Amino acid sequence: MTRCETPIRRSRLWPGAALVVLAFVSGCTRQDTGRLQGYVEGEFVYVASPHAAELKSLNVERGSTVKAGDPLFALDATPEQNARDEAAKRVLQARASLEDAVKGKRPTEIASIEAQLKQARAALEYSEVQLKRQEHLTGSLATTADDLARARAVRDQDRARVSQLEADLETARLGARSDQITAAEANLRALEAALAKAEWDLAQQARSAPQAGIVFDTLYRPGEWVAAGRPVVALLPPENIKVRAFVPEDRIGSIHLGDPARVWIDGTSAPLAGKVSFISPRAEFTPPVIYSRETRSKLVFMIEIVFDRETAAKLHPGQPVDVEIGP
């Protein structure tokens, strides 16, 4: 016997008592208001680091509100800091090597080549004078053919020496060869990319809020080891709060995306205004095999309703609600 059933004997029922009993029984029957049943759902943002490390600090508490950019937590960053410092030093070394290759030899080395070139030119002038003297004496007994050939060889040797030093001086002023400079530039770019990666790894050890919201939960405490990719903080932005309701098959055809919706929450007198943002293309609790008219009544379709930020902040995930669709 349920609480809405009352043992009554007809022979002893007064007329006034009968009216009271009828009113009580009718009050136990739930009136169909046309409202849909649903619940509040939240899509959480899980903030994690791609690296495994010890949790050094936790800057938020469960239930607190954060703005975009507020610090959430920090992991031990000692290995990442060391890797970043090493990469920065390698970039400095590669940049210095490239600058040295581009600007050529040092000024003192160039000055040394210039001095050797000056000496070689002086030797060339002397050998040319000696060659002319031997040519002038040709045909007389004052010189021989061997002396003339020897003077010409010395002049040619001094001329080649001058050409060699002129080329060495030009090369010293130009710096390294173009392919060597290209290789040094490529090495610098690669090390700069490695530095950028090291800086990114270091930045991932201290995470901030990607968007404003409520700290729904904190999953680790300072001192605990956090595995790579495991979330430490779960955020719930207001725009990620929505209502999911279930519509009978015979009413789903009258509901469209963007339709206004009113949501009732227990304990409040005025409904919250939202709009339909999603209609599921699949039925829930679908009977097997055949969609007969008898089984169609068992079909329901899920819809989702979204709100503005101020309205969504009044809702809590898991909260049961009643929904009306339409103006």
Answer yes or no: is 185 within a domain.
Answer: yes
The verdict on 219 and 185 lying in the same domain is no
Percent of the chain with pLDDT over 90: 47
Answer yes or no: is 69 within a domain.
Answer: yes
Average pLDDT over residues 197-226: 95
The verdict on 208 and 69 lying in the same domain is yes
Residues with Cβ within 8 Å of residue 124, at least 6 apart in sequence: 155, 158, 159, 161, 162
Alpha helices in the chain (DSSP H): 15-27, 78-103, 107-136, 145-174, 178-203, 249-252, 293-296, 309-312
pTM: 0.64
Per-residue HEC secondary structure of 77-140 comes to CHHHHHHHHHHHHHHHHHHHHHHHHHHCCCHHHHHHHHHHHHHHHHHHHHHHHHHHHHHHCCCC
The verdict on 231 and 278 lying in the same domain is no
Answer yes or no: is 183 within a domain.
Answer: yes
Residues with Cβ within 8 Å of residue 17, at least 6 apart in sequence: none
The model's pLDDT over 212-244, given as tens digits with 9 standing for 90+, comes to 999 999 999 999 999 999 999 999 999 999 999
With H, G, I as helix, E, B as strand and everything else as coil, classify residue 23. Answer: helix
| Phi, psi (deg, nearest 5) at residue 123 | -65, -35
What CATH number is associated with residue 250?
2.40.30.170
pLDDT score recorded for residue 141: 66
pLDDT score recorded for residue 249: 85
The model's pLDDT over 64-98, given as tens digits with 9 standing for 90+, comes to 999 999 999 999 999 999 999 999 999 999 999 88
In this structure, how many other beta carbons lie within 10 angstroms of the beta carbon of residue 246? 19
The verdict on 123 and 186 lying in the same domain is yes
> Which amino acid, 115?
A
The verdict on 311 and 214 lying in the same domain is no
Answer yes or no: is 16 within a domain.
Answer: no
Q: Mark which of 200, 217, 250 sits at the end of a domain.
A: 200
What CATH number is associated with residue 232?
2.40.50.100
Instruction: Please determine, for residue 295, whether its predicted confidence score (pLDDT) is greater than 90.
Output: no
Instruction: Please determine, for residue 9, whether its predicted confidence score (pLDDT) is greater than 70.
Output: no
The verdict on 71 and 99 lying in the same domain is no
The verdict on 218 and 181 lying in the same domain is no
pLDDT score recorded for residue 150: 87
pLDDT score recorded for residue 28: 43
The verdict on 193 and 248 lying in the same domain is no
Boundaries of domain holding 111: 87-200
Percent of the chain with pLDDT over 70: 83
Per mean pLDDT, which of 41-50, 110-119, 177-186 is the most reliable? 41-50
Helices 78-103 and 178-203 cross at an angle (nearest 10°) of: 160
In this structure, how many other beta carbons lie within 10 angstroms of the beta carbon of residue 46? 14
Average pLDDT over residues 182-196: 94
Answer yes or no: is 22 within a domain.
Answer: no
The model's pLDDT over 17-50, given as tens digits with 9 standing for 90+, comes to 333 333 333 444 444 567 888 899 999 999 999 9
Answer yes or no: is 91 within a domain.
Answer: yes
Which strands make up the sheet holding 71-75, listed edge to edge? 206-208, 71-75, 53-58, 225-226
Do the bridges between strand 225-226 and strand 241-248 make them parallel or antiparallel, or are there none, so unpaired? Answer: unpaired
The chain-wide mean pLDDT, for the chain, equals 83
User: Total domain count for the chain?
Assistant: 3
Q: What is the band of 146 on the pLDDT scale with cuts at 50, 70, 90?
A: confident
With H, G, I as helix, E, B as strand and everything else as coil, classify residue 53. Answer: strand
The verdict on 152 and 215 lying in the same domain is no
The model's pLDDT over 238-285, given as tens digits with 9 standing for 90+, comes to 999 999 998 888 888 899 999 999 999 988 888 999 999 999 988 876
The verdict on 245 and 231 lying in the same domain is no
